[in-house]
Every structure is written in C-alpha cells, then in structure tokens.
Amino acid sequence: MDQAGQAGAATRHFTLPPGSCDTHCHVFGPPDRFPYAPARAYEPTDTPKETLAALHARLGVDRAVIVQASAHGTDNRAMLDALAWRPDAYRGVAVIDNAITDAELEAMAAAGVCGIRFNFVRSLGLWPEPDVFSRSVARAASLGWHVVLHVKDDDILTLHENFAALPVPFVIDHMGRVDPAAGVEQPAFRALLDLLRRDGAWVKLSGAERMVPSPYDGALPYARALVAARPDRILWGTDYPHPNLKAKVDERDLVDLIPAYVADAETRRCMLVDNPARLYGFPAA
C-alpha cells in the first residue's frame, strides 16, 4: 500500500449499519427548563436533546434509548421531552420513587418509556430503598417493562441472587463495571456471565471509557466474553455525555471499538439493531 493508501486507511472509521441504536445515553437540562436535583452527587454537563441528536448524526446512530441519570433524580421531564421530540427514534428508561402514580406511569409508557433504572453505586451514595425497589419491580412487571441495573464490581456478587430472581427482564449497565485489572476469571465477572446466561438478562457493552484509558483495549476481553456467552442478549451504548467522568472521550473511538468487540457482521447487526428492536419495541429496520 502506498503512503496515500495508508493515510486513507488510518482515517477510515467503522460504519454503523442502518437502524443502529445507542442503548445508553443521557440528556441533561437545559437547567432553566429542567433543573437538576438539589442533592445530586455530581455536576452534569448541560446536554439538551439537540446536542445528543447532533452527536448521533455525526456517528450514524439512528435510534437511541435515553436513560434517566441520577443528576435529575426522579424528575424525568428532560427525558420525556426528548421522547416527545422524536417518538419513532427514541425510547426511555425512567427513575421513579413510590410517590409516582399509576396514571403517571401509564402516561410514561404511552410516551415511549419501557424500563425503570436502579443505581446500586455506593461511591455515589446511591442504593435504592428495599421497599422502593420491590414495589417498582412489581409496577414494571404490570406494565411489561424491564429494569436497568447500574451495579459496580463486587456488588454483582452481593446482589447476584436478587437479580437472578427478578420476575422481569433486566439489563446490567456498562459490563458490570468490573475491575479491569482483575481479569475475566474474577468472581464478579463470572457472576455477570452467569446472570447473562439466564433467561431475561441483558448486558450493555458500554462503559469501556470508565474501565480503562483510551484506546480502551483493556475492555476487549470482557466485551468478547459477554458476546460469546449470549450474542442475542448484548446491547451497545455510548453513555454520552459520560456523566461524572473526568477523562475526555471521543465517541467516534467507542464506535470504532465495535468490530474489535464483535468479529462478524451478523452478530454486530444483532447487537446494534435486532437486539434493541426486540427489547425496546422499535420497528424492524
């Protein structure tokens, strides 16, 4: 290959297939319309729906799942506003408490919400109250929703049996945020693989930028093991705008990780298009 060819190859990026879905992203603000929670554990970067849409246009993402982040607490209005803006392309995951009414939940379902998120992250001071968790799971079941579990490292072991017994489908964020230095044989990751092999479990291949520095190669063994375990239950997401993360991230680099995660095109399409369509109710691409 001549020098011009080498330069072209160096700048070539992975092209997402039509219908690809970013299953984990957030909107924040604008705070004059959608204020942040007073007791938030971090200061988010203002990321209104227009900013998110511009990123997805640049990356070639056609669909997205907007996940309520803890900085907005249980005030889901920013997420719901984004869903109303692009109802065919967006789905949502809410954060709720016991104060929400059944009518409000039904309105969320009509707007495109299809799940409830729980944060089990001690470092952020987040852990759901048992009564809120159990009642919310029951309400998710009545609506045909799933639950999303943000859990970190060894807490996968602590909560393994609780998660395995859930009566609804469940999605674990960010490859379980396991310790990247401990290897794929570490107990927390083995527990994650065990959960993924059970009916109803899903795992997002997201959060590589939280595990290791760029270019994120240290995340590859974990992603590949998850793909090998259940290619029909893996999802992909950017986690944009990477809340509470100090390192600068180019989301194009996260897209370019995908062929390193998943070697064959059929499985990549499964992860990016078909699996999200099944879980979130998007029409066939």
Residue 241: is the preceding peptide bond cis (ω within 30°)?
A: yes
Please give the Cα distance from 71 to 86 (Å, whole number): 23
Q: Produce one character per residue of 45-60: b if its CB has 16 or more CB atoms within 10 Å, e if not.
A: eebbbebbbebbeebe
Q: Can 239 be counted among the known catalytic residues?
A: yes
- Which of 82, 85, 154, 92 shows the shortest CA–CA distance to 117? 92
Q: Which residues pair with 236 in a beta bridge?
A: 205
Q: What is the largest CA-CA distance in the chain?
A: 65
- Which of 225, 223, 230 shows the shortest CA–CA distance to 202? 230
- Which of 80, 107, 106 shows the shortest CA–CA distance to 93? 80
Q: Where are the alpha helices (DSSP H) in 40-175?
A: 49-59, 77-85, 102-111, 130-143, 155-164
Catalytic residue among 153, 239, 264, 274: 239
Catalytic residue positions, numbered: 239
